[in-house]
Amino acid sequence: MCIRDSICFAAIEFTDDPNVAGHTYWYACDLEGIERGDEVLAPLGRHNRLQKGIVRQVRMSKDYEAPYPVYLIKYIKDIVKKREGATMMYKIIDRQELNSTVTMMDIYAPLVARKAEPGQFVILRVDEDGERIPLTVAGYNRKAGTVKIIFQIVGATTAKLNEKKVGECLSDFCGPLGCPTETEGLKKVCIVGGGVGCAIALPVAQKLHELGCEVHSVIGFRNKDLVILEQQFAECSDKLTIMTDDGSYKNKGTVTVPLKAALESGEKYDRIIAIGPLVMMKFVVTTAKPYGVPVTVSMNPIMIDGTGMCGGCRLTVGGKTKFACVDGPDFDGYEVDFDEAMERSRMYCDFEAHERELTCNLFKKEVK
């Protein structure tokens, strides 16, 4: 066991076990926000059966100041229930509106930041009564312990999240989840991002740039007002092309136009990584197919639950059923049935529009 310079220790009483009730046992803990009175799950006895207990004392100590020999100390498995009146909070450190419908936030979540990689996602709840939604990691700062998220206001929960200010907290922030985007061994890559999908594509481009890969980025938006992350992409791309559907900024057209031009001119990419709306990714795959360039697509846009339980992100890949949240979110673009995925993604549009309208009306309602 590797013990850090300073570690959290918690004394637990297992009140439901008459054999040990009245006694406390020390455990190490790497869970955020643990407090006295929390109900936790921890291994007990030589068989390490998980049992519920109550935290009676919490303290931070150096490894040599541990209340028990460090090589014998066990770790608390999970926090089952917070003490009454307490919540596990994740503070909003920074907040920036990228455009009228897209917001970027830095969330203090050091345990998530420590392990996060490009392509992975988190699940969050705005408040205790809110729904759980998956959002892709748009960046991280391991030293500061922050994770960056970028979201578009499309439904009730993202509308509530957008109302949060710097200094306020989220109820839950769990992750990282999903499989990281494969970046090792690539020498030349074309990153294709569309709309808010650019938020997912950016950390991938940054990681490839850090690894010494030649990065060509193509990012597309409907119009000038919706352009985001231009400077960030410019800093990590050897070549950057910006497209707008209406030609109001930079080049007019879709992202497949410069991609096809590059392939026709003889550009040899080890891989094309496409992240954006389903229809965009479908046509990126169609454009690349005659040239035989491997294409990776992120199916993050269809995720709902994030754990594989709801089946909402079910899709067909290579003739087999897969789940974007568990098996992905990255897949071989040539094997994805995009038509089926697009049809299923439209199932909840009416419901989400209704819920968003209700939420917006609540925000506008005057307090009497």
Number of independent structural domains in the chain = 3
Residues 76 and 99 in one domain: no
Residues 48 and 159 in one domain: no
Residues 134 and 33 in one domain: no
Residues 38 and 121 in one domain: no
Band the pLDDT of 235: cuts 50, 70, 90: very high
> What does the pLDDT read at residue 6?
65
Averaged pLDDT for residues 333-346: 83
Contacts for 64 with CB less than 8 Å, ≥ 6 apart: none
Residues 334 and 221 in one domain: yes
User: Comparing 69 with 130, which gets the higher pLDDT?
Assistant: 130
Residues 138 and 170 in one domain: yes
Q: Name which of 45-54, 137-146, 264-273, 342-351 the model is least confident about.
A: 342-351
pLDDT at 368 over 50: no
> What does the pLDDT read at residue 15?
80
pLDDT at 63 over 80: no
Contact 57, 105 (CB under 8 A): no
User: Comparing 155 with 201, which gets the higher pLDDT?
Assistant: 201
Residue 38 lies in a domain: yes
pLDDT at 253 over 80: yes
Question: Percent of the chain scored above 90 by pLDDT?
Answer: 40
> Which range of residues forms the domain containing residue 33?
6-81
pLDDT at 184 over 60: yes
CATH number at residue 140: 2.40.30.10
Contacts for 84 with CB less than 8 Å, ≥ 6 apart: 37
Global pTM reads: 0.69
Residue 66 lies in a domain: yes
Residue 366 lies in a domain: no
CA 175, chain centre distance (Å): 7
Question: Percent of the chain scored above 70 by pLDDT?
Answer: 85
E strand intervals along 98-157? 102-108, 121-125, 133-141, 146-152
Name which of 35, 139, 157, 155 is nearest 94 in CA terms.
Answer: 139
Dihedral sign (CA 284, 290, 291, 297): positive
Q: What is the pLDDT of residues 98-133, one digit of tens each?
A: 998 899 999 988 888 888 999 998 989 888 778 888
DSSP 8: E
Contact 197, 255 (CB under 8 A): no
Residues 197 and 311 in one domain: yes
Residue 30 lies in a domain: yes
Residue with tokens 């030293």: 143
Pick the last residue of a domain from 113, 145, 177: 177
Residue 361 lies in a domain: no
Residues 228 and 124 in one domain: no
Residues 330 and 278 in one domain: yes
Band the pLDDT of 364: cuts 50, 70, 90: low
> What does the pLDDT read at residue 353?
63
pLDDT at 198 over 60: yes
> What does the pLDDT read at residue 5?
53
97-129 burial string, b = 16+ CB within 10 Å, else e? ebeebbbbbbbbbebbbeebbbbbbbbbbbeee
Band the pLDDT of 87: cuts 50, 70, 90: very low
Residues 221 and 296 in one domain: yes
Q: What is the pLDDT of residues 281-314, one digit of tens each?
A: 999 999 999 999 999 998 877 776 666 677 777 7
> What does the pLDDT read at residue 300?
77
Residues 192 and 309 in one domain: yes
Name which of 96, 93, 145, 150 is nearest 121 in CA terms.
Answer: 150
Residue 354 lies in a domain: no
Residue 308 lies in a domain: yes
